[in-house]
Amino acid sequence: MIENVGAELKKYLEGKPFFSALLSFDMIILYVSVALMLLGDIISLGSFINALIFYVFMLGIVLCLANSNFQALMIGLGGRAVIAIVNLFQGFFWEYGGYLSWSALFALLIYGYFAYASYNKTLKKA
């Protein structure tokens, strides 16, 4: 079922000149945005840059979904889930001592689930 959504999404994006050029760079966009998110957790990049990186990350997810590149989705979403684990432990152990970051917990659950679903899709393809 998700393959049908991805095929229709690819047809739609190929009709747009900007997105059709970006379709071949789906993995690069996703991986670079995850790496920049990790860098943003280590050093302060500013809220505007972090928001821009998040939107580029979402664009990478859409492009990988359009290309049915579930292995790249698995790695990218898994990387984002690892970043959520780091944020969860950061708040719990270092920042305030005993502070539970609900946003990091929900991000871990959501991105972790979709990484697992992409993993299952990758296994079914092989």
Instruction: Check: CB of residue 36 under 8 Å from CB of residue 60.
Output: no
Q: CB under 8 Å, gap of 24 or more: what pairs does 94-100 form?
A: none
Residues spanned by the domain of 75: 2-125
pLDDT above 70 for 48 = yes
Q: Is the dihedral of CA 86, 92, 50, 121 positive or negative?
A: positive
Q: What's the pLDDT score for residue 52?
A: 96
Q: In 56-118, which ranges are E strands? A: none
Q: How many structural domains does the chain have?
A: 1
Side-chain-side CA neighbours of residue 89 (13 Å)? 6
Joined tokens for residue 121: 């899709």
pLDDT above 90 for 61 = yes
Q: Taking the model in full, what pTM does it have?
A: 0.88
Phi-psi region of 46 (alpha: psi -120 to 50; beta: other; left: phi over 0): left
Joined tokens for residue 62: 């859409």
pLDDT above 80 for 94 = no
One-letter identity of residue 110: I
